[in-house]
Amino acid sequence: MLNKLNMHNMTPETFYKTIKSLGRYDFPNPNAVDPDGYGVVALGGDLAPETLISAYAQGLFPWFNEDEPIAWWCPEPRCVIVPSDYQPSKSLRKQARRSRWQLTVNQAFDEVIHACSLPRSNGLPEGEHTWIHQEMIEAYTELHRYGFAHSVEVWDENGQLIGGLYGLKIGHIYFGESMFHRASNASKLAFWGLMQLCIDSGVALVDCQLPNDHLLSLGATTLGRHQFLAQLERLLHKGAVSWPIQPHQPMPVAQLDSSNGRSNGHSKFWPL
């Protein structure tokens, strides 16, 4: 069904109804089935593109280990960031101004999601993997082919991929999934690039799912689950937002720092 839809030509009302009609499962109301806020609200189902979009549009996301039933989460509280509120640190701005690195969108989605799936140096034991296992990789790669999953990449001066992130965009909200880096602060620069992409295109909120020190250091905050679900509904009613599906031309990281004032009506960092 997804390959027959042209979301960007839909009215906001039609977009909302179409998104809400996708999927063949009736997910429960998180506040009703999980009043104590443990996070898990459903088990089972599948990772078909329609199922994933339907789940995210209701505030749920999958998080489970390989060979376990699919678990659908809607945590309390929810970690989010408003792109227009993002402020890079002074040290990151200084690094960006001096950098010869480049940023792209959707240039290397497969490489990014596979890099995110690898154990972190201070995380899992050698030989073990993150929750981004093969079933998840295949599911989000398919969403990428349909134009819903997007990546932001950072490349060094030698053309090597050194950082990035990926997630899912539905209308005016971006659901972040994971990030990685192979050089100092590369993932933070990818995050900054994402913030600017959201500002330039009108995406009003980025869902970071669960809070952690790294996300909070980037400017993320938390919302109560009820408040998050209300904002999600409001943003879905605003309709679609166009992002480049095909690989986007590289943009110099050094130009990021001069983009801080562009959300006030000046030229955009990303030429959408």
In tens digits, the chain (272 residues) has pLDDT values of 666 567 778 999 999 999 999 999 999 999 999 999 999 999 999 999 999 999 999 999 999 999 899 999 999 999 999 999 999 999 999 999 999 999 999 999 999 999 999 986 544 444 344 689 999 999 999 999 999 999 999 999 999 999 999 999 999 999 999 999 999 999 999 999 999 999 999 999 999 999 999 888 888 999 999 999 999 999 999 999 988 766 778 999 999 988 654 445 456 888 76
CA distances from 65 to 31, 62, 71, 150 (A): 24, 10, 9, 23
